[in-house]
Amino acid sequence: MRVALIGGGVIGGGWAGRLVENGVDVVVHDPHPEAERRVREVLDNAERAWARLTLVPRVRGTVSFAATLTEAVAGADLIQESAPEDETLKRRLLSEIDRQAPPQAIVCSSTSGLLPSRLQADMTHPERFLVGHPFNPVYLLPLVEVVAGALTSEESVERSLAFYGSLGMKPLRVRKEVDGFVADRLLEALWREALWLVHDDVATVEEVDDAVRYGAGLRWAQMGTFLTYRIAGGEEGMRHFLAQFGPALAWPWTKLTDVPELTDELIDKIAAQSDAQAGGLTVRELERVRDDNLVALLQALRARDYAAGAIVKEHEKRLLDAGGGRTEERDPEQPHLYESAVDPSWVDYNGHMTEARYLHVFADATDALLRHVGVDADYLAGGHSAYTVETHLRHLREVAAFEPLHVLTQVLDTDQKRLHLFHTMQHATSGETLATGEHLLLHVDTKAGRAAPWVEPVATAVARAAAAHNALSAPEGAGRAITLRRVHEA
């Protein structure tokens, strides 16, 4: 699939990151002289984040840059416009896109609140236009609001919902056209009140952010507003909460119907406090801090198959079902190679990778080998799997954060029910051996709960891998076990 991105700013660059990390080829058009540099910096951050978000193998798409809009949209299956929030500018740009885009292409706008019925008014083919409003950073946050205009066809809506979903996103179809859609109307209410709190010297910008990130923000990340308040109502639920706290809505606590004037004085105050809050970090450095924190939250939610984490887990399954991103078969006579890098969260107080993470990497390498021989989602769903029943690790060198790793996996032996593997973890640049892991896997019938022979076509693939690796030299350390020489005093 080919997607044209018209506009390469924060949102356009974020779209590029999301698309490329999901194997979609992208062409970007933006007249800004620094557009390519900015987009490529965002792509670097996106690749860094996705390398930590999921270890599922995937093929990255390509990105190119077009000097003209005509060149960008030629052959595109979908065009995503991310120009500045100026209705006149967007209408003119969308009309031009509509004239030059292929007939089958969907045309989407990233607008955060302009009404699609107005944006499509000058288009010759308004039925293929709709809003696909993402959230920054687009490559990590799954939400995308899908809003149809009065002339948008249902086919276009369904195609866009399917496309955004295929990228590991959560498409939220907005039921009615309304300024600001859903999410930004909520954010606008909080933003207005936050400005008043700073304007009235009730709190600094950092204190306002602290009130969110140490409190409600943690709940919002998983449950939103209504489900949070349902719990606050106790066993009686939402009705009790509304009865107890509903009257407070009449109290003059907030100023949501008004907004402070952004005078030079207020702007200077906010800017100075924001500079102090940033602590000297650049925007790119702050983006990486944000991304690392978001990845950690998403992974925690993924482990519980909840909220945004459920989207990540579902997308991982989709990638595995598609073949784990493999585009070519590995040479069967070569040890299977698994690549990774040391996430900072894997490092302990000594500054080195924890013992558990060595096993984590080897377990992922085992999974990569199993996928290679055909243990995929269908095989698992059929009631078959392979469980590790014995492990021996050797830690040969301390490993620090961000060090690149690869793992060579050699099949030492196999029979009808067992698979004997040896992993060698190496530094991906120097080739130095960092650790080894020897594992015995037992094939099981998960429904019966007992060992069982491998099932075709996996049985043949396992045997083929073992035969190919049989010609290789036994790796150093294979067959080792922990021994302790007893010393007896005379």
Tokens of residue 192, six digits:
């207005």
171 forms bridges with which residues in the sheet?
A: 144
At residue 189, the pLDDT reads: 93
Task: Reply yes or no on whether the pLDDT at 348 is more than 60.
Answer: yes
Which of 84, 65, 76, 92 lies closest to 1 in space, CA to CA? 76
Angstrom CA distances, 285 to 2, 36, 61, 281, 327, stand at 31, 19, 25, 6, 34
Which residues does 412 contact at the CB level (< 8 Å), separation at least 6? Answer: 420, 421, 422, 469, 474, 478
Provide the H-helix boundaries in 74-204: 87-100, 116-119, 154-166, 183-199
407 forms bridges with which residues in the sheet?
A: 338, 425
Query: CA 142 to CA 316: how far, in whole Å?
Result: 13
Query: What type of residue sits at position 488?
Result: H
Burial status of residue 17 (CB atoms within 10 A of its CB: 0-12, 13-18, 19 or more): buried
Task: Reply yes or no on whether the pLDDT at 486 is more than 70.
Answer: no
Q: What confidence tens digit (pLDDT) does each residue in 419-433 have? A: 999 999 999 889 999
At residue 190, the pLDDT reads: 95
Tokens of residue 364, six digits:
């992922």
At residue 331, the pLDDT reads: 61
Task: Reply yes or no on whether the pLDDT at 326 is more than 70.
Answer: no
First to last CA, the chain: 78
Task: Reply yes or no on whether the pLDDT at 329 is more than 70.
Answer: no
Query: CA 303 to CA 278: how far, in whole Å?
Result: 31
Task: Reply yes or no on whether the pLDDT at 407 is more than 70.
Answer: yes
Percent pLDDT > 70 in the chain is: 96
Task: Reply yes or no on whether the pLDDT at 332 is more than 70.
Answer: no
Tokens of residue 135, six digits:
């959230």
Q: What confidence tens digit (pLDDT) does each residue in 59-99 have? A: 899 999 999 999 999 999 999 999 999 999 999 999 999 99
Average pLDDT, the chain: 91
- Helix or strand or coil: residue 414? strand
Angstrom CA distances, 198 to 81, 203, 207, 257, stand at 34, 5, 9, 17
Lowest mean per-residue pLDDT among 9-18, 115-124, 274-283: 274-283
The whole-number average pLDDT for the span 221-226 is 92
At residue 403, the pLDDT reads: 85
Beta strands in 110-243 (DSSP E): 129-134, 143-148, 170-173
Q: Which domains does the chain have, with CATH numbers?
A: 2-181 (3.40.50.720), 184-280 (1.10.1040.10), 329-469 (3.10.129.10)
At residue 333, the pLDDT reads: 62
Q: Compare 344 and 313 and report the one with higher pLDDT.
A: 313
At residue 483, the pLDDT reads: 76
At residue 247, the pLDDT reads: 85
Which residues does 215 contact at the CB level (< 8 Å), separation at least 6? Answer: none
Task: Reply yes or no on whether the pLDDT at 490 is more than 60.
Answer: no
At residue 324, the pLDDT reads: 43
Query: What type of residue sits at position 8?
Result: G
At residue 485, the pLDDT reads: 67
Query: What type of residue sits at position 331?
Result: D
**457 preceded by cis ω (within 30°)?**
yes
Cα-to-chain-centroid distance, residue 97: 29
Percent pLDDT > 90 in the chain is: 74
Query: CA 465 to CA 470: how far, in whole Å?
Result: 8
User: Whats the size of the chain, residue-wise?
Assistant: 490
Task: Reply yes or no on whether the pLDDT at 489 is more than 60.
Answer: no
Q: What confidence tens digit (pLDDT) does each residue in 423-474 have? A: 999 998 899 999 999 999 999 999 999 999 999 999 999 999 999 999 899 9
Q: What is the pTM of this model?
A: 0.76
The whole-number average pLDDT for the span 4-18 is 97
Provide the H-helix boundaries in 247-354: 264-278, 283-303, 307-321
The whole-number average pLDDT for the span 406-417 is 95
The whole-number average pLDDT for the span 233-254 is 86
The whole-number average pLDDT for the span 345-367 is 89
Q: Compare 252 and 395 and report the one with higher pLDDT.
A: 395
Angstrom CA distances, 339 to 50, 57, 71, stand at 14, 9, 36
Query: CA 144 to CA 183: how far, in whole Å?
Result: 10
The whole-number average pLDDT for the span 5-12 is 97
The whole-number average pLDDT for the span 181-205 is 96
* Confidence at 480, pLDDT banded by 50, 70, 90: confident
The whole-number average pLDDT for the span 174-193 is 95
Query: CA 61 to CA 192: how far, in whole Å?
Result: 40
Which residues does 192 contact at the CB level (< 8 Å), separation at least 6? Answer: 255, 256, 258, 259
At residue 325, the pLDDT reads: 40
